[in-house]
């Protein structure tokens, strides 16, 4: 595969990428701008390309992006035929694949745990603590568990929480105890969710750079289907070892349907969004 031109300057300094216009990364740039546009944060406006794009370039040159399937990609003539027939550049598509696979891995297999603000927790306690049948349990790992089921005590807790919320105020509570992400708590999502995320990113790219409309080669089977291409890529990068992905243009639909109410923006991806 053709290699990306390495950015000049300090490779750890994000601002060196302001003028980084690498043709081979064109597809990556388009999708990254869709995911998180340049200037998404006021601090960065006018200074950088998409933060997601910049982070991918740095991860790539820091050897943090999985490229272990490069030989399979280069040697797969069927895959090459599909990509080029659909109107895409084979080399540019390689870097798009690396980007989507890496972002999917970071988002789904290394998801950073999210914690609510103090005010949100207090709101939930106030809402539910005195409902009929409610009980409050405090557990100290390896030590003690306290269970409160007495309704009068729960009423008192509810009133105390309300007093705190009223007297301190939402703004003050959120400034003192805001939402935060724990960099030390990592959650791993299912393989099926990762496949959905991976496929969704490719579908986003298709909207930005539509594939050519190719007629079916055989009755009932489109060997140049854009979803079949995604399926074959799922198999190529190892998200599934099921060989059905190599032949079915419909298998992806099941994953899209299963997670139809999800959004790629539900995930906090430390490697890309910070």
Tell me the pLDDT tens digit for each residue of 176-197.
555 544 455 456 789 999 999 9
How big is the chain by its Cα radius of gyration, in Å? 24
Closest CA to 71 of 1, 140, 138: 1
Percent of the chain with pLDDT over 70: 77
Closest CA to 241 of 205, 190, 204, 191: 191
Beta bridge partners of 187: 111
Q: Which two tokens stand for residue 131?
A: 């409902």
Query: What's the length of the chain?
Result: 274
Beta bridge partners of 221: 218
pLDDT score of 15: 47
pLDDT-flagged residues of the chain (< 50): 11, 14-15, 40, 47, 180-182, 185, 220-221
**β pairing state of 180-187 and 144-148:** unpaired
Check: CB of residue 225 under 8 Å from CB of residue 51: no
Check: CB of residue 174 under 8 Å from CB of residue 161: no
Q: What is the dihedral of CA 128, 134, 140, 142, to 10 degrees?
A: -140
Element (DSSP H or E) covering residue 239: none
Check: CB of residue 161 under 8 Å from CB of residue 122: yes
d(CA 210, CA 265): 22
**Under 8 Å CB-to-CB from 182, ≥6 apart: which residues?**
112, 113, 115
């Amino acid at each position: 595969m053709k290699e990306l031109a390495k950015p000049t300057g300090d490779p750890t300094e994000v601002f060196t990428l302001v003028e980084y216009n690498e043709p081979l990364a064109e597809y990556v740039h388009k999708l990254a701008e869709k995911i998180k546009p340049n200037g998404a944060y006021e601090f960065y406006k006018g200074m950088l390309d998409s933060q997601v794009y910049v982070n991918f370039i740095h991860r790539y040159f820091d050897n943090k992006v999985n490229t272990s399937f490069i030989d399979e990609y280069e040697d797969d003539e069927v895959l090459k035929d599909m990509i080029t027939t659909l109107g895409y550049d084979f080399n540019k598509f390689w870097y798009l694949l690396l980007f989507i696979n890496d972002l999917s891995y970071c988002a789904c297999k290394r998801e950073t745990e999210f914690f609510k603000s103090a005010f949100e927790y207090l709101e939930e306690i106030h809402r539910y603590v005195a409902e009929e049948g409610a009980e409050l349990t405090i557990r100290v790992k390896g030590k003690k568990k306290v269970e409160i089921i007495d309704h009068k005590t729960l009423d008192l807790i509810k009133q105390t929480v309300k007093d705190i919320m009223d007297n301190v105020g939402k703004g003050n509570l959120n400034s003192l105890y805001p939402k935060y992400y724990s960099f030390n708590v990592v959650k791993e999502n299912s393989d099926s969710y990762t496949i959905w995320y991976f496929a969704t990113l490719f579908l986003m790219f298709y909207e930005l750079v539509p594939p050519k409309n190719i007629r079916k080669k055989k009755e009932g089977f489109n060997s140049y289907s854009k979803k079949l291409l995604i399926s074959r890529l799922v198999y190529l990068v190892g998200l599934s070892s099921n060989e059905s992905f190599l032949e079915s243009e419909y298998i992806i639909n099941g994953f899209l349907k299963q997670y139809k109410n999800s959004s790629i923006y539900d995930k906090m991806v430390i490697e890309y969004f910070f």
